[in-house]
Structure 1
Amino acid sequence: MGYEVMPFKGTRENVLRHVPRTVPLTVTASPQKGLSATVKLAAELAGAGYRVAPHLSARLTRDKAELQDFLGILSAAGISSLFVVGGDGDDCGAYKTAHELLVDIHESGFVFGDIGIAGYPEGHPLIGEPDLTRALSDKAPLAHHITTQMCFDIKRIRSWAAALPERGVHLPVRIGIPGAVSRQKLMRIAGAIGLGDSARFLRKQQQLLWRFFLPGGYNPGKIVRSVAADIGRSPNIAGFHVFTFNDLGGTERWRQSLLRRAPATP
């Protein structure tokens, strides 16, 4: 189970305070913060002993020279994992798609042994299903695993993952779930990332926000308990990726509670 964090002021200290070094981390990217903030925080966390995968966004990468600079910094920091996305942003430089960025990463001369790409079990608000399927097939040979975007439909997760081999995609899948985050925390995050990013954030997280108003609210443990039995049995479901929204104290307390309640293995 890995945690996703956002490169805000104080994130490094928050991670050091709450997250054990055994928990893998990813660092997001956004148009407002830019990739430099992502790369800087990833290098700092790697220097503090964490296994870190920075997000590299195609639409936020200016050109091949900038990509080489970022890859050089990450490689020098001992980082061997990346998460490559198309990304947000109204303008883009040399890259429009994650596949284009993946090709240049593989031709860069730097070696990264664990490259993740995004999967969308419930679709994408701006991309049609045929295009999503085609893009995943194009990216899969250049990647090592898939991490899904947030999904709350257990049956949909299972059926989507089970259908991947039929499409020629044989990568392990990490299921993306929100951590133990409050509605108030989501609103504070939305207000902290700038107007344009906030609109994107709220659009992407509308399912999560809606679930806070259901009886009983949102409980990440329900998804974990439902899918956990598939890990090791399903040919491609490999674990969980937790969107923490930087609520690291609450998320780590929730994870520790899950571990305490987990049945002992013989």
Structure 2
Amino acid sequence: MATRARADRAVQKRLLEGMTYELIPLKNLADQSMFLPAGATVSVTCSPAKTIDDTLDLCAHYGDQGFTVIPHLAARMAEDEDHVARIVRRVNEQGIRKVFCIGGDAEPRGPFTDAAGFLRSFLDRRPEIDVVGVGSYPDGHSTIPEQALVDSLVEKQEMIRE
């Protein structure tokens, strides 16, 4: 029985070491982030109450503290093509290697209404990244028809493969 307990602890340790922690920019973020393990990977959400630049500012802050950061880039929060270019520049300057592109919950602030359109513009600028994550809604979405979700996911996958 002791051998199994050690094996279980080893599995738990390995799983915890590879975790990604999601950071939501709420008032208590600074207080709560002190509990993050040093050097952890953190995914920084893109709050509709803030901006993509705020998300990238948080990424810079946590990156400077030794965390690996993954910004959520919400398409509806991108203002225009110039803004996308600035986002790519900041991602490159900050050495960010992974991004997570979503449509987002905000009202559109520019021409992008879904992740696919934003992702195309983002990738066309050749960001120096290794990984792109995208939303997929495996359990469906309350306002988006299932076929539209499938079509969107296929479109994003094809873009990433290019």
With the length of structure 1 as denominator, give the TM-score of the two structures: 0.50
Alignment of 1:103-252 (within 5 A): 103-143=120-160
Residues 45 and 131 of structure 1, relative CA distance in 2, 3 Å threshold: same
3-state SS in 1 of match to 2:21:
strand
Partner of 1:71: 88
- The answer (yes or no) to whether the contact 1:43–1:79 under 8 Å persists in 2 is no
Q: Which amino acid aligns with 1:139?
A: K
The alpha carbon displacement at 1:22 in A equals 4.4
Q: 2:74 aligns with which of 33, 49, 57?
A: 57
Tell me which residue corresponds to 1:176. Answer: none
1:143 deviation in Å? 3.9
One-letter amino acid of the counterpart of residue 77, structure 2: L
Matched, 1:96 2:113: yes
The gaps in structure 1 that reach 5 residues or longer are 145-266
1:11 aligns with 2:25: no
Q: How far 1:21 moved relative to its partner?
A: 3.2
Distance 2:32 2:92 in 1: 24
Q: State the alpha-carbon separation in 1 of the partners of residues 31 and 63 from structure 2.
A: 13
Q: Distance in 2 between matches of 1:68 and 1:91?
A: 18
Contact 1:53 1:81 in 2 (8 A): yes
Distance 1:67 1:10 in 2: 29
1:24 maps to which of 41, 54, 78: 41
SS of the counterpart of 1:8? coil
- Indicate the residue corresponding to 2:54 in structure 1: 37
Match of 1:2 among 16, 20, 35: 20
Number of aligned pairs? 143
Cα 1:4–1:71 change in 2 (3 A) is: same
- Code of the aligned partner of 1:37: D
Taking CA–CA contacts closer than 8 Å with sequence separation of 6 or more, which of the two structures ends up with the larger relative contact order?
Answer: 1
Alignment correspondent of 2:100: 83
Mark the runs of 5 or more structure 2 residues left unpaired by the alignment: 1-18
| 1:114-142 Cα distance to aligned partner (Å, 9 max, x none) | 11001212100110101001000000133
Which 4+ residue blocks in structure 1 deviate beyond 6 angstroms?
A: none
Taking the aligned partners of 1:24 and 1:142, their CA distance within structure 2 comes to 25
SS of alignment partner, residue 82 of structure 1: strand
CA–CA distance in structure 1, aligned partners of residues 77 and 156 of structure 2: 18
SS of 2:101's partner is strand
**What is the CA deviation profile of residues 33-70 of structure 1, one whole-angstrom value per residue up to 9, with x for unaligned ones?**
12121110011111111111101111010011111112
